[in-house]
A and B are shown apart, each in its own frame.
Chain A
Amino acid sequence: MVGTPRVVYMDNNATTRVDPEVVAAMLPYFSDLYGNPSSMHTFGGQVGRKIAAAREQVAALIGAESEEIIFTSCGTESDSTAILSALQAYPEKRHIVTTRVEHPAVKHLCEHLDRLTGHKHRVTRLPVDRDGLLDLNQYEAALSDDTAVVSVMWANNETGVIFPVEEMARIAKSRGILFHTDAVQAVGKIPINMADSAIDFLSISGHKLHAPKGVGALYVRKRVPFAPMVVGGHQEQGRRGGTENVCSIIGLGQACELAQARMEDENGRVRQLRDRLEEGLLSKIPNAIRNGHREQRLPNTTNISFEFIEGESILLHLDQYGICASSGSACTSGSLEPSHVLRAMGVPYTAAHGSVRLSLSVFNTEEEVDFVLDKMPGIIAKLREMSPFWQSSHKGAVGGANCPCE
């Protein structure tokens, strides 16, 4: 085929391309301006000033003050630091509230809290409904005097569903409970303003917004008690030891500035591309179901289940065309159960195994969307042709749970 693109990258919730402008900002700091920002000499000091500028850039994107930003190695470190710090702030409180759909960075941390802290903790995992949304009454009822911290993701990585964390943080604050949000999927994609917020901790990951992998940030609200997790030198005002990952921090700052400038594009053009892709797939392919609330969602993410087939098979066929996506099927998760997010939403196994997530970025084009719309129906049809559950129970193109033939 003429003009077939080599890679159609639609897996931006997994990681993103480092923006060329970000690379350009980083490059001088590898082998020309390699000083240690903590040094007393001018050669190192100029690097320190650049880190201060990056801190301003990150703070500006989320409406924070620069001293509220701590650079870390990744989103996971930010999550662990925030939650463990909150537990240390209230050592007598042994309850934590989170959700059933958190990223493993928070989910697995909560499962291992007892071992990490040496104390027995009670963890409430809030359920979600079929659209992936939380029930705020249930949330309020879960809070108790024993609750030390609430940790709820801002936007879900698999479905893109957005939680009302601002409102949830206000409720927590009124009860004297600290609030953390894993916002790695939200920062840079939707507007965030910490100045009007009650959120105490917010995690950022560089590589989800066109900065490199291996750098993240943690927002900690002023005057909120904080206990460092990585203890060492006086870097980050003693809040995170270890010589700064200078180049990546500069890259993260640059990426945040770009994200700010592209916020309109992300929420306008990218959203339109996503909608065009989603509506196209749902209309062209029978027995395709959108997972996640239609409106309360990131502008770049779509998660669709194709019934009666298995996700890994779909991904490998897409791969033949250079299309990069991911799936919530068991076979792609490395476990034997499909995605915990889709199961928590009550997506039937028949559909969870055949789920595909496509996540766009400002680098995607209309041609790429059309290319996927062109290839996907054939792939799904081929796999369904092979599936014992497709034609045996359903003749024709309708099939599935809604089929009038039953």
Chain B
Amino acid sequence: MWEYTDKVRDHFMNPRNVGEIPDADGIGEVGSLACGDALKLFFKLGPDKKIADAKFKTFGCASAVASSSALTEMIKGLTLEEAEKITNDDIADYLGGLPKEKMHCSVMGREALEAAIANYRGLPIPMAQGEVVCECFGVTDQEIRRAIVENKLKTVEEITNYTKAGGGCGRCHEQLEEILREQRHEIREEPVAETGKRLTNIQKIKMIEDVFEREIRPALRKDGGDIELVDLDGDFVTVALRGACGTCKKSRLTLKEYVEKKLREQVLDSLIVEEER
């Protein structure tokens, strides 16, 4: 059973603004029956160019209905410029939070709003411009990149929670890893926002070496392999695999599934392990 907040339950059991606006100024449609959730959003502008009325129709689970209901309440009275600034996080916050696996419901709300505004302005839908990465759920690279940046996503699993990409057949997982790496490179300059423990590079190197020595090397040596720390740049840990690991086809998997996981658990959960090229 999902842990929904009282606000989610309330907006699900008593959804606000269900219906259609026959002479709507903007209509946005996202999702599909096959995907398991879909939202059709309508808005009508008043003489003051503010959103005078908003209505929705949603097919989906409780959090999809609640996100839609919340969205319509949030945008009423706003200008389009103000409404545009609403992020999926704002929708989730309005509802007192959503289970992490359900964050894609808030993303769907935000995308329907964007689609409706684009529809009003006669522009193409921004998120549909990208290239489809996840074919199961029709998610484009643009949607994925934005979700990574805005929500500071660190793993493929988080991408799936926020966008559904990668939640079907799983064939796009490698591509998602690639996008994740690219985006994380771009935002690497940003200072770490949370206060937690801030480690100096020397501290990090020492801790990484410790984990290597204590856990990772003994395991790799059993299979005739070894690992060396080559460089550390912010969160990026460059390593070289030696011995049997150097020629093993599964070495990439070892790096991501094993080495990176261990380092994230024991040193810093934002570390990204890469192989020396």
Interface residues, chain A, CB within 8 Å of chain B? Answer: 308-310, 312-313, 316-317, 320, 329-332, 334-338, 349-350, 353, 385-389, 392
Tally inter-chain residue pairs, CB-CB below 8 A: 74
Across-interface contacts of A392 in B (CB, < 8 A): 40, 57
Q: Is the CB of B34 within 8 A of A310?
A: no
Closest chain-B Cβ to A379's Cβ sits at a distance in Å of 11
Partner of B164 from A308, A336, A386 at Cβ < 8 Å: A336
Across-interface contacts of B164 in A (CB, < 8 A): 336
Closest chain-B Cβ to A346's Cβ sits at a distance in Å of 14
Across-interface contacts of B101 in A (CB, < 8 A): 334
Q: Is the CB of A308 within 8 A of B59?
A: yes
28 A/B residue pairs, CB under 8 Å, sorted by A = A308-B59, A309-B59, A310-B60, A310-B61, A310-B64, A316-B13, A320-B13, A329-B36, A331-B60, A331-B62, A331-B102, A335-B167, A336-B164, A336-B168, A337-B168, A338-B36, A349-B33, A349-B36, A350-B34, A386-B58, A387-B57, A387-B58, A388-B29, A388-B38, A388-B39, A388-B59, A389-B38, A389-B59
Chain B interface size range? 20 to 34
Partner of B59 from A310, A316, A335, A338 at Cβ < 8 Å: A310
Task: Provide the B163-185 mask, 1 if CB < 8 A to any CB of A, else 0.
Answer: 01001100000000000000000
B125 at the interface (CB under 8 A from A): no
Across-interface contacts of B18 in A (CB, < 8 A): 385-386
B160 at the interface (CB under 8 A from A): yes
Q: Is the CB of B59 within 8 A of A331?
A: no
Q: Which chain B residue shows the least CB distance to A353?
A: B36
B212 at the interface (CB under 8 A from A): no
Given contacts A385-B18, A386-B15, A388-B39, contact A312 B62 (CB under 8 A): yes
Bound together, the chains give a CA A388 to CA B57 distance in angstroms of 5
Bound together, the chains give a CA A349 to CA B32 distance in angstroms of 10
Bound together, the chains give a CA A385 to CA B15 distance in angstroms of 12
Bound together, the chains give a CA A334 to CA B58 distance in angstroms of 20
Across-interface contacts of B33 in A (CB, < 8 A): 308, 349-350, 353, 389
Q: Is the CB of B58 within 8 A of A336?
A: no
Bound together, the chains give a CA A329 to CA B34 distance in angstroms of 11
Partner of B61 from A313, A349, A385 at Cβ < 8 Å: A313
Q: Is the CB of A387 within 8 A of B59?
A: yes
Closest chain-B Cβ to A186's Cβ sits at a distance in Å of 27
Across-interface contacts of A388 in B (CB, < 8 A): 29, 38-40, 57-59
